[in-house]
């Protein structure tokens, strides 16, 4: 099953809502600051898989990457950022900064 970023964001929001974490009384306030903190912590957990070697267990790594992706989607949602457009814009910037100019039309 392949989903778009929007569909994945919707699925993430359904999960967070089902857990009651969007409720005002939740002990896990889903504020942008809290989610940004969680994103950074999960990114560090990715690095943990390479702490003592160059190989990571693929299943364990996939789980951590999913944690990062879910928080990334949520932070974009909470801050009204169109993540798909932001990624495309940043790739364009990177082509111009590190490449030979404008990105290819197939970007
Ligand atoms: Mg994790």
Question: What are the Cα distances from residue 14, in Å, to 17, 40, 98, 106?
Answer: 5, 22, 39, 33
Does residue 15 form part of some domain? no
> Percentage of the chain with pLDDT > 90?
91
Q: What is the domain range of residue 80?
A: 31-98
Which pLDDT tens digit goes with each residue over 53-96? 999 999 999 999 999 999 999 999 999 999 999 999 999 999 99
74 contacts 52 by C-beta, under 8 angstroms:
no
Domain containing 73 — which CATH number? 1.10.287.1080
Query: Ligand 1 centre and the CA of 41: distance in Å?
Result: 8
pLDDT band of residue 103 (cuts 50, 70, 90) is confident
**Which residues lie near ion ligand 1 (Cβ < 5 Å)?**
42, 45, 64, 67
Does residue 13 form part of some domain? no
Residues 27-42 have a mean pLDDT of 98
Query: Ligand 1 centre and the CA of 62: distance in Å?
Result: 10
Does residue 57 form part of some domain? yes
Residues 87-107 have a mean pLDDT of 90
Does residue 104 form part of some domain? no
């Amino acid at each position: 099953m392949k989903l778009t970023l929007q569909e994945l964001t919707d699925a993430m929001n359904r999960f967070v809502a089902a857990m009651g974490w969007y409720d005002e009384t939740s002990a896990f306030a889903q504020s942008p600051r809290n989610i940004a903190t969680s994103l950074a912590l999960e990114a560090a957990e990715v690095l943990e898989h390479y702490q003592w070697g160059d190989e990571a267990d693929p299943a364990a790594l996939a789980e951590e990457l999913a944690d990062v992706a879910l928080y990334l989607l949520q932070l974009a949602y909470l801050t009204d950022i169109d993540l798909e457009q932001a990624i495309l814009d940043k790739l364009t910037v990177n082509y111009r900064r590190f490449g030979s100019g404008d990105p290819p039309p197939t970007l």
